[in-house]
Amino acid sequence: MAQDQLTVRHWGQASYEDVWHAMQDFTNQRGPDTPDELWLVEHPPVFTQGQAGKPEHIINLGDIPLVKSDRGGQVTYHGPGQLIVYLLLDVRRRKLGVRHLVTSMEVAIVELLADYDIKAYAKADAPGVYVANEQSVESKIASLGLRIRRGCSFHGLALNVNMDLAPFLRINPCGYAGLPMTMSAQLGGPNTIDEAQSQLIPKLAEQLGYPHLYYTTEKLIL
């Protein structure tokens, strides 16, 4: 049944704008029986600004483009070595609220990192996943941003796996000045995208309540 099946679609590396517009088209064209999907992707270097994004959080774009998106949240950075998981779900059909989606993403990431003895946590006032070092200095390892339209979700999570973190210094990540960013490879966690996604996706599907996963690399024709 459509409500029990979750298609996990591997995009490989693809431009932010191409995948964003494909998410919009998928959401616009889906029907009441369209199975839900997770899209796994890496983006070339790009800054993205959420709907409520404030220009003062952009310090120096340099040679990296900025895309003004329709997701929630402020400005963030995407680049190779960062696992992006987009949630294209009929939340009305599954009776899921935004808070449940956010919590499911956070818990799945926290559980993934716990498997590597990395203590991570979520914060009620700042969506995402964080870690703290022995000096209690807090760093962010995963960012979240969603959009709900026509009772369906798109956008999702970005987990820093093994990437160049320097571009985050050009912005106030997620609207927080001076917020340090980290990645799992620095902490003894997953070192590759394949390693991270192979373990994260089953945990996320379990949190969201999908018993059946269908993996594909087939490209969508919308």
101 in any annotated domain: yes
Per the annotation, the verdict on 152 as an active-site residue is no
Show the tokens assigned to 129: 């996943």
221 in any annotated domain: no
Binding residue per annotation — 52? no
What is the distance between the alpha carbons of residues 18 and 52, in angstroms, rounded to a whole number? 22
The pTM for the full model equals 0.95
31 in any annotated domain: yes
Q: What is the pLDDT along the chain (222 residues), one digit of tens a residue?
A: 567 889 999 999 999 999 999 999 999 999 999 999 999 999 999 999 998 889 899 999 999 999 999 998 899 999 999 999 999 999 999 999 999 999 999 999 999 999 999 999 999 888 999 999 877 889 999 999 999 999 999 999 999 999 999 999 999 998 888 899 999 999 999 999 999 999 999 999 999 999 989 999 887 765
Binding residue per annotation — 143? yes
134 in any annotated domain: yes
Show the tokens assigned to 173: 């990540």
Structural domain including 112 reads: 5-216
Binding residue per annotation — 48? no
Q: Is the alpha carbon torsion for 197, 213, 40, 92 positive or negative?
A: negative
From the candidates 101, 105, 174, 208, which is the catalytic residue?
174
Q: What is the CATH number of the domain that holds 198?
A: 3.30.930.10
55 in any annotated domain: yes
222 in any annotated domain: no
133 in any annotated domain: yes
* DSSP secondary structure of 33-68: TPPEEEEEEE--SEEEE-TT--GGGB---TTS-EEE
77 in any annotated domain: yes
- Report the number of distinct structural domains present in the chain: 1
